[in-house]
Amino acid sequence: MRHGKYPFIIGFLAVPVALYVTFVVAAYFQTFRLSLTGWSGLGPIKNVGFANFVSLWSDDLFWKSLRHNLVLLILLPIITIFVALIIAFLLNVGGGFRGGLTRGVWGSKAYRIIFFFPQLLALAIIAVIFGRVFAPDQSGLLNGLLPTKSAQLWLADGHIALACILAVLIWQAIGFYVVLFSAGMGSIPSEIYEAAALDGATRIRLFFRITIPLLWGTIQVAWVYLGIAAFDAFPLVNIMSVDRGGPDGATSVLSLMIYRNTFELSHVGYASALGVVLFFLTLTFAALTLRVTRRDTVEL
């Protein structure tokens, strides 16, 4: 029975492990090593110790980008989860009670299909679409709808450019979480709602006292996913924003800085140092999320 087990195991694992180690693991390891060098991408690799991190400390653009990442990291999950929960609740419980059963609103299936669609589009394509939606002249969708007097510069206005990027991220993300939360709500037995409703609980109470506690595990997962999305945002900033990260660094994020330092400024060492910072940020974020949101999950 055990005959040929090891050759089989090695045969099945060799290619995937080789690919993964070569292109993923090795790349991550080299990021750490290169972060201590001043390599430009060509020529000999010289160690410079922590010089890259020292210059990061006094790099205004770095702090700006970091701040933008943190703003996205906080606002993207909060707004997306909040809105998606409400929409999912309306879809699933909005139709009221019939014969003691909670019902979804009429057409909830169609709504769900529409809401989910942006999730299927590439962020790069969404970036191109919204680059035009936010066009600063009359050709933009928003300025076209607004009266000429209140037209905005949108992405060209440093005060609201980041908010525009955030809005697009939210626009794309919500549908996915509506579907996710809907699936979770679907598994909450309707007897619970029925019992609470008979006791005179209002819908708002139902939402906060029943739906949210029972969905806590899913909300946690959503928070982690959205946080990771907030660390990226590269396609949006690279394609949509004015001057790529502008105006005047108003939408710069760490991912864009890594890209530009690697491929445009030939500061591979510096980019790797940024990568290391990003790595620890992601790790901290994941650990914090799991700690802060830890709560006794309610088992059904």
Q: How far is the CB of 214 from other proteins (least distance, A)?
A: 14
Residue 119, burial from CB neighbour count under 10 angstroms (0-12, 13-18, 19+): middle
Q: How far is the CB of 35 from other proteins (least distance, A)?
A: 10
Q: How far is the CB of 148 from other proteins (least distance, A)?
A: 7
Site string for other proteins, 131-170 (x = CB under 8 A): xxx---xxx-x-xxx--x----------------------
Of 50-58, 97-105, 152-160, 207-215, the segment contacting other proteins by CB under 8 A is 97-105
Reported as half-sphere exposure (CB side, CA atoms, 13 A), residue 151 has a value of 17
* Interacting positions 57-86 with other proteins (CB under 8 A): 83, 86
One-letter amino acid of 169: L
According to the binding rule CB under 8 A, does residue 129 interact with other proteins? yes
Q: How far is the CB of 260 from other proteins (least distance, A)?
A: 10
Name residue 102's beta-bridge partners. 97
Crossing angle, helix 161-186 and helix 108-116, to 10 degrees? 140
Task: Report residue 97: phi and psi, to 5°.
Answer: -115, 135
According to the binding rule CB under 8 A, does residue 228 interact with other proteins? yes
One-letter amino acid of 184: G
Pick from 122, 290, 292, 298 the residue near other proteins by CB under 8 A. 122
* Interacting positions 162-221 with other proteins (CB under 8 A): 171, 174-176, 179-180, 183-184, 198, 203, 218, 221
* Dist CA 194 CA 189 (whole Å): 9
CA–CA distance from 256 to each of 6, 234, 244, 253 (Å)?
45, 6, 8, 6
Pair of tokens at residue 14? 């060799």
Q: How far is the CB of 101 from other proteins (least distance, A)?
A: 9
According to the binding rule CB under 8 A, does residue 245 interact with other proteins? no
169, 76 in Cβ contact below 8 A? Answer: yes
According to the binding rule CB under 8 A, does residue 252 interact with other proteins? no
According to the binding rule CB under 8 A, does residue 300 interact with other proteins? no
Q: How far is the CB of 99 from other proteins (least distance, A)?
A: 4
* Interacting positions 1-60 with other proteins (CB under 8 A): 1, 4-6, 8-9, 11-13, 15-17, 19-31, 34, 41
Q: How far is the CB of 284 from other proteins (least distance, A)?
A: 12
> Which residues, including other chains, have CB under 8 Å from residue 277's CB and lie 6 or more apart?
56, 66, 254
